[in-house]
Amino acid sequence: MSSSIMRTVARSVGRTPLRVATAPAASRALSVRFFCSHKQHKRIPTTKAGINPGVLGALAAGALAGWYFYSGEPTPSRDSWRKINFHNVYKDIAALLEDEDYDDGSYGPVFVRLAWHASGTYDRKTGTGGSDGATIRFKPESGHGANAGLDVARARLEPLKKKYPHISYGDLYTLAGVVAVQELGGPTVRWRPGRSDEKVSANCTPDGRLPDAAQGANHVRDIFYRMGFNDQEIAALIGAHALGRCHSNRSGYEGPWNASPTSFTNFFYTELLEDKWVPKKWDGPAQYVDKDTKSFMMLPADIAFKTDPQFRKYVEKYAADQDAFFADFAPAFTKLLELGVKFPEDAPVYEFKTLE
C-alpha cells in the first residue's frame, strides 16, 4: 500500500478518535518530540520477555522514587557490554513497547524522546554532554523543562537494567530509541555499545541545550549546529515528530502531529505542507492546529521548517519520498546517539532485525 493511501486512511480514521495502536506488521513497510520542551488475574501473566508485569510495576514505582540510581549494582565500565547479548536486550525492549493503557497504546514515542534528549545535549566545542554518562537520570538535568515526563520512560526500562546489570544506562536508553524507531515501522538504525555511566550528578549538562519549541529557524540551527549537524540532517531528524504527541502537563503544548502517532512515517512532512495551520485559540503557549479539524498540531519551531527556504527543500523531498526520508534519518539518528561517545575500538556495530 502506498504511503499516500496509508496517509489518507490514517487521517480519515484519526479525525474522530485519537487512540492509534502500534502499527501491525502488514503496514510497517510504509514520539520523539524533539521540541516538546516546556487488571490482574489469578494466573500471573508475563510479557514476551518473560517479565512479570506486576514486578515491572513495582520496579517502576521504585524507579520513580529514584532508588534505581543508587541500586547497589556495580557501575558498568566501558567494557561491560562484552557480557551482554544485545539481541536479547532488543527483544526485551520491544516487548515493553505496547501498552493500551498508556497514551496512544505505545511507549515507543517516549523511548525515542528519551534517547534523543539523553544525546542532544552534546556541545562539540567543549566536548560535554551527549549520551555517554547518562546524566539525564540525575537532578538537575532530569528536572529540566525539556525532560518533563521522561521519568515514565526511564521507569519503564528499569526492570531491564535489573535483568542486565552490566548494561549502562547510556546504552539502554539509546538502544530503546533504536528499538522504537524500527518496531514502529521506521528504518534500520545502526547502533553500537560502549557508553559508560556517571556515578554522580556533577557532570549534568546545563539547562537550555535542547531545542525550545517556541523559537524559529535561527534557534533551531544554533542548537543543532552546536552538535555538528547540517541543515539536511536537522530536517531529517525533525521527521521523528511523526511519532507521539505533546502533553500540556509536561511541555505545556497539547496534541499529536498526525493521525498515526505510533507509526514511523513521513507524515510529519506531508501534514506540514498540505494542511493549513492556524494559531490555536486557548490559554496555553502559542502553537498551531490544522484549520479543517483542529485535531492535529504543530509547534512554532515545526512551522519554521515550512517557512525557511533551506529547510523547506528537504521537507518537500521527504514529503514526496518516504524512502528518501528513511535513508537520511537513519544515519542522522545514529550520529545523534553517538555524539561525544568514545567507543572501544572493537565495539561491534549492530543492525537489529525487527520482530515478526
pLDDT digits (tens, 9 = 90+) for 26-47: 333 333 345 554 433 333 344 4
Residue 76 confidence (pLDDT): 74
Q: How far apart are CA 14 and CA 107, in angstroms?
A: 19
Mind telling me the catalytic residues?
A: 117, 257
pLDDT, tens digit (0-9, with 9 covering 90-100), for 191-235: 999 999 999 999 999 999 999 999 999 999 999 999 999 999 999
Kindly tell me if the per-residue pLDDT of 57 is higher than 90: no
Average pLDDT over residues 116-124: 98
Q: How far apart are CA 325 and CA 146, in angstroms?
A: 26
Residue 322 confidence (pLDDT): 98
CB contact at 8 A, 270 and 7: yes
Residue 14 confidence (pLDDT): 46
What is residue 190's three-state secondary structure? coil
**pLDDT range class, residue 24, cuts 50, 70, 90:** very low
Specify the pairing of strand 297-298 against strand 277-279. Answer: unpaired
**pLDDT range class, residue 8, cuts 50, 70, 90:** low
Give 76 or 326, the one with higher predicted confidence: 326
Residue 50 confidence (pLDDT): 44
CB contact at 8 A, 314 and 174: no
Whether this prediction's pTM lies above 0.85 is answered by: no
CB contact at 8 A, 123 and 227: yes
pLDDT, tens digit (0-9, with 9 covering 90-100), for 222-271: 999 999 999 999 999 999 999 999 999 889 999 999 999 999 999 999 99
Q: Which helix (H) or strand (E) holds 277?
A: strand 277-279
Residue 221 confidence (pLDDT): 98
Give 55 or 11, the one with higher predicted confidence: 11
Residue 307 confidence (pLDDT): 98
Q: Which helix (H) or strand (E) holds 155?
A: helix 150-163
First to last CA, the chain: 19
Residue 60 confidence (pLDDT): 44
Residue 36 confidence (pLDDT): 53
Average pLDDT over residues 118-136: 97
Q: Which helix (H) or strand (E) holds 297?
A: strand 297-298
Kindly tell me if the per-residue pLDDT of 17 is higher than 60: no
**pLDDT range class, residue 300, cuts 50, 70, 90:** very high
Among 16, 31, 46, 50, residue whose Cα is nearest residue 163? 50
Residue 73 confidence (pLDDT): 52
CB contact at 8 A, 186 and 28: no
Residue 281 confidence (pLDDT): 96
What is residue 75's three-state secondary structure? coil
Residue 75 confidence (pLDDT): 65
Kindly tell me if the per-residue pLDDT of 302 is higher than 80: yes
Average pLDDT over residues 56-83: 55
Mean pLDDT of the chain: 85
Kindly tell me if the per-residue pLDDT of 66 is higher than 50: no
Among 150, 120, 149, 137, residue whose Cα is nearest residue 200? 137
What's the grid cell of residue 48? 514476551
Percent share of the chain, pLDDT over 70:
78
